[in-house]
Structure 1
Amino acid sequence: MKRSKDKFYMKQIFDCISDGEIIATGKIAKEIGLSEKSVRNRLNELSDFLLENNLGEIQRKPRVGIWLEANENQKEEIQKALSDEDLQVGNYDPRGRVNETLKIFFNLRPWQTMTTQKLAEKLFLSVPTMLKVLKECEEWLEVYHISLVNERGKGYRLKSEENEYRVALKNLIMMKKPGEEIKENIDYFFSNIDVSAIRKCIIQTENEWDYHFTDESFYEILIYCCIAYKRKELALPLVSDYFPEELKILKKYNEYAFTVAIFEKLEEVFHVHFLTEDVLFLSIQILCSKFIGISDVDVTLSQVKKYDNKLVDFVDRMLKVIR
């Protein structure tokens, strides 16, 4: 716990519910001198701690009250834990749990699944807590129109179009900053890829074209190139509802030619062939990245018009996902 004061109140709450009798939150608040809201927050923290350490469970019934379900051995362990000066209760990182769960799913093959029990074991969580985390994962994925499908008898897996998958994975990797943490995520997802060779290809192209990307933009290009190489063997098609008309338009701009130059180097180094859709996808990401910092969509699209009016609707669709 962050402060001894927090630990004091947590012990007080435990004393109120340790006998297993039903008690109202308001009565607890009155006895220990906190607001009902503060009591509820600390009850949530204590409940998570108990579940994750298999020390019983706090039950709640609306308009009735709360009570502790735990045997005598569990109660002794709780008392001992709350007396530990080094214990940190209520200091969990919910966002971190979601990120770690998402990393597991994005590192699976499209047909692979993961059961709730296995996820809970990997993350050292109880099954009820894991189900809560999965719900938060679904909310995060919904932004990218990605579903978390639960196949009966098999477990959960991601269901998405390839375009959305790549944007979501890039954003997940880029979620951690500064650079060292991003590098850790890159190493996690692309452990079987020669990332340094891909990085070298991008840098060489940068120098030849006299392009100077920010660190963030460089990482995004690096990640997309790694994804394109890693996903090649799966032969999952990128959605090309804007192809080939927009391709003809894009070919007029440096973003497309620059992307072609990168992929030509990658093909030479790795002896593989990338599809036109891979080039188109990355060139659009590079084009859109110029406008992500502009919060006003109307201003963004007015800037895009300087390229070509026919790109406005298309870039608008991409911005809604990338943002």
Structure 2
Amino acid sequence: MYLNDKRFLKLFKLLSNSRVPMKSEELCEHLEIAPRTLRNDLKNYKLTFLENGVKLISKPGVGYYFEIFHQDLYFRFIQDLIKKETQDQHLIPVYPEERINYLIKLLLSTDKYIKIEELEEKLFVSRSTLTNDLKEVRERLEYYHLDIENKPNYGMKLIGEEFNKRSCISKYYFHTDLYDSVVLSTEKNERKEIIKKLLYDTITENNFTLTDIGFRNLVIHIMILLMRIDKLIENEIIEPIYINLEDEKEFKIAGMIIDKLENQFKVKLPKKEIYYITIHLLGKKSMQYNNDTLLISQETQDLLNYIFKHIKQNFKLDFSQNFELFTCLALHFQPMMNRLKYGLFIENPLIDKIKNENSLAFEISLYVGSIIKEIKNYDVNVNEIGYIALHFALALERLHEEIRSKNILVVCASGAGSSQILLYKLKQKFKNYINDIRVAKLYELLDIDQSKYDYIISTVPIDFNTQIPVINVQYFLTEEDIDLVKNIFTEAENDYSFINKYFKDELFFKDLKGSTKEKVLKNMCDAIQKIVDIPPDFYKLVIQREEMASTEFGNNIVLPHPIKPITDSTFVAIAMLEKAIKWDKQQIKFIFLISTQKDSTESLSLFNESIAALVFNKKAMTELEKNPTLNTFKRIIKEMAIQEKENTIDSIFK
């Protein structure tokens, strides 16, 4: 290899960065060599290019350019070159995600302007690639209320509040795999241990408790504070919102922490740092108790009651008697409100998994976020939404179990022993579906209040009328008997009528046009309006939901819908795009626009689960793309529904 050949390195950079073929005259000018020398060099370098995943293409009258035929080899080769130049392969990345993280770190690490030309040369990428990377960088920085300032002839630099910069530094320097090995020196590790002890001693003295994550994040915040001590402004103006913090118990503790830091590290810290640490303490503390009684503020209680009331109105789900959910949300809300109020950011590494696997809980939580915005005027970011959704997911699972469980009367004339065997087998096979089960003799049925039960399972014929259905089985339960009993527990889930009910030929659009998600959704809503009576603000409510969190789910699928049920009937409009587009982060080809009937009480669980299952079935979507008809889709969705039902049963009877 030619890692020590500066001319080779420069030539490789030129051809890697160029979006168009480069003529020999251009290359000679940049390399300051004669045409004959260039020809000799290219001849010598040709094999090295091939060995490392790129083919040098030469077209007469057009020029020279690279054709990458093995990306991994090419990227590894670039890493070797970078390692040679930087002596540290971790500092400059190659893959897109690594480049984005690198750019954010670079912007956070300097107050000077950085020219885009410098970045092109450092990263071995073209201007267009770098522009796309910087677009993603801006989007990620926006979460921390940071931006990039561009100044002609100077370049770009990061702008924003110091507190927000530190939050971003915490994410991109301290919460990455490479940080400890690359940045965190032995000296910094020793400092970290000192800070941990100092913080632990202070909160223990004050009988204050932090969550484990809260403790770790506050240690990181203090480390960043000491690293950026030269950035601190002594007499910085204290905003009015911070002054209110002085009445909090946490403000006193924060003052003690600052005093200890100044004494330990021989530094002088501005008063504003006390407010920053107070915010961390408020946003990450464990719930406090008084004589073993949970202290929930009246404000939080009122907010949750209001939320439960509106969830019942819009989703037809009544959580008002769910004390466990109320308590869990109260525990979560009180520190969350402090985070939202003072702009303290948290990460949620499970957000995509939560959104994909708990779609209804996520939708409910987005609605909860909109209520908090309406009442408190706080923007609830998607990471916070994800954590709220975990509480609703658990509540929904328990609600589903309550709805599907049945009360059973067992009648067996063979004696007490056989009755107990049948009872045991039913409990063993159907424990997740049985709420209450009782053994009765045949003659006792007339005196039992049958209205308290759902079914009678009997090993003998019953020759008189009963108030509830009777299922006849053999006392040792054959396979046929098990299937028969399965059906009574899953009867509500066996109804595939939704396939014809919700999917209509006239709402199946092939070759829908649009270059952005807004244009696509507008075109789709306009097409729907010609067929279905939808409200005038239908498109606006679909966009409003999309702005809260993207509905892209992978597998080229997006599932947009209005932020709340607003139509007189439930329907699904299906569209195949004429040309796939980038929605937010992913390429999208298929759109399933779902609208749920307002004030509906029908269960849509199998419908929702079947639609969601498409996200994980590439074969099905490939089949639909090859044969884009509603009949193809109906067959696929029925297969999904059957599969989802069987998966549910399998999980119960495993």
Cα deviation digits, residues 270-306 of structure 1 (max 9, x gap): 2222233212212212331348xxxxx9778733776
Aligned to 2:129: 129
Aligned to 1:262: 257
Aligned to 1:317: 341
Q: Do residues 231 (structure 1) and 228 (structure 2) align?
A: yes
Aligned to 1:108: 110
Q: Structure 1 residues 122 and 145, CA, compared in 2 at 3 Å: closer, same or farther?
A: same
Aligned to 1:163: 163
Q: Structure 1 residues 182 and 213, CA, compared in 2 at 3 Å: closer, same or farther?
A: farther
Aligned to 2:242: 243
Whether contact under 8 Å (1:148, 1:158) holds in the other structure is yes
Match 1:205 to one of 199, 205, 208: 199
Instruction: Indicate the structure whose relative CO is greater, using CA pairs within 8 Å and at least 6 residues apart.
Output: 1
The separation in 2 between residues aligned to 1:200 and 1:124, in whole angstroms, is 41
**Counterpart residue identity of residue 107, structure 2:** F
Of the structure 1 ranges 204-213 and 270-279, higher mean CA displacement relative to structure 2 is found in 204-213
Cα deviation digits, residues 25-67 of structure 1 (max 9, x gap): xxxxxxxxxxxxxxxxxxxxxxxxxx977258667xxxxxxxx
Aligned to 1:45: none
The separation in 1 between residues aligned to 2:273 and 2:240, in whole angstroms, is 14
Q: Do residues 54 (structure 1) and 48 (structure 2) align?
A: no
Aligned to 2:272: 277
**Counterpart residue identity of residue 88, structure 1:** L
Whether contact under 8 Å (1:162, 1:239) holds in the other structure is no
The separation in 1 between residues aligned to 2:163 and 2:16, in whole angstroms, is 44
Whether contact under 8 Å (2:283, 2:344) holds in the other structure is no
The separation in 1 between residues aligned to 2:17 and 2:165, in whole angstroms, is 39
Cα deviation digits, residues 165-186 of structure 1 (max 9, x gap): 1212212224414xxx342465
Q: Structure 1 residues 209 and 220, CA, compared in 2 at 3 Å: closer, same or farther?
A: closer
Whether contact under 8 Å (1:148, 1:157) holds in the other structure is yes
Of the structure 1 ranges 144-153 and 71-80, higher mean CA displacement relative to structure 2 is found in 71-80
| Alpha-carbon offset, residue 96 of structure 1 | 0.8
Cα deviation digits, residues 100-146 of structure 1 (max 9, x gap): 1111111103xx11111222333343444323222221111111221
The separation in 1 between residues aligned to 2:124 and 2:70, in whole angstroms, is 22
The separation in 2 between residues aligned to 1:185 and 1:257, in whole angstroms, is 36
Match 1:286 to one of 277, 281, 285: 281
Q: Do residues 222 (structure 1) and 219 (structure 2) align?
A: yes
1:140-155 matched pairs, under 5 angstroms: 140-155=140-155
| Alpha-carbon offset, residue 241 of structure 1 | 3.5
Q: Aligned-pair RMSD on alpha carbons?
A: 4.1
Whether contact under 8 Å (2:100, 2:133) holds in the other structure is yes
Bigger CA radius of gyration: 2
Aligned residues: 245
The separation in 2 between residues aligned to 1:70 and 1:55, in whole angstroms, is 14
Name the one with the larger strand percent. Answer: 2
Whether contact under 8 Å (2:232, 2:270) holds in the other structure is no
Q: Structure 1 residues 85 and 315, CA, compared in 2 at 3 Å: closer, same or farther?
A: closer
Aligned to 1:172: 172
Q: Structure 1 residues 238 and 229, CA, compared in 2 at 3 Å: closer, same or farther?
A: farther
- Identity among equivalent pairs (%): 18
The separation in 2 between residues aligned to 1:271 and 1:320, in whole angstroms, is 28
**Counterpart residue identity of residue 225, structure 1:** I
Whether contact under 8 Å (2:145, 2:160) holds in the other structure is yes
| Alpha-carbon offset, residue 244 of structure 1 | 1.5
Whether contact under 8 Å (1:161, 1:239) holds in the other structure is no
Whether contact under 8 Å (1:198, 1:266) holds in the other structure is no
The separation in 2 between residues aligned to 1:238 and 1:167, in whole angstroms, is 20
| Alpha-carbon offset, residue 155 of structure 1 | 1.0
Secondary structure in structure 2 of the residue aligned to 1:244: helix
Of the structure 1 ranges 165-174 and 208-217, higher mean CA displacement relative to structure 2 is found in 208-217
Q: TM-score, with normalisation over the residues of structure 2?
A: 0.32
Aligned to 2:544: none
Q: Structure 1 residues 55 and 221, CA, compared in 2 at 3 Å: closer, same or farther?
A: closer
| Alpha-carbon offset, residue 69 of structure 1 | 7.2
| Alpha-carbon offset, residue 156 of structure 1 | 0.8
| Alpha-carbon offset, residue 199 of structure 1 | 3.3
Name the one with the larger helix percent. Answer: 1
The separation in 1 between residues aligned to 2:278 and 2:150, in whole angstroms, is 35
Q: Structure 1 residues 129 and 223, CA, compared in 2 at 3 Å: closer, same or farther?
A: same
Secondary structure in structure 1 of the residue aligned to 2:261: helix
Q: TM-score, with normalisation over the residues of structure 1?
A: 0.60
Whether contact under 8 Å (1:120, 1:127) holds in the other structure is yes
Whether contact under 8 Å (2:245, 2:275) holds in the other structure is no
Secondary structure in structure 2 of the residue aligned to 1:156: strand
Whether contact under 8 Å (2:283, 2:339) holds in the other structure is yes
Q: Do residues 88 (structure 1) and 85 (structure 2) align?
A: no
Secondary structure in structure 1 of the residue aligned to 2:73: coil
1:172-191 matched pairs, under 5 angstroms: 172-177=172-177, 181-184=178-181, 187=184
**Counterpart residue identity of residue 205, structure 1:** L
Of the structure 1 ranges 92-101 and 71-80, higher mean CA displacement relative to structure 2 is found in 71-80
The separation in 2 between residues aligned to 1:214 and 1:302, in whole angstroms, is 16
| Alpha-carbon offset, residue 198 of structure 1 | 4.9
The separation in 2 between residues aligned to 1:306 and 1:317, in whole angstroms, is 11
Match 2:331 to one of 300, 303, 313: 303
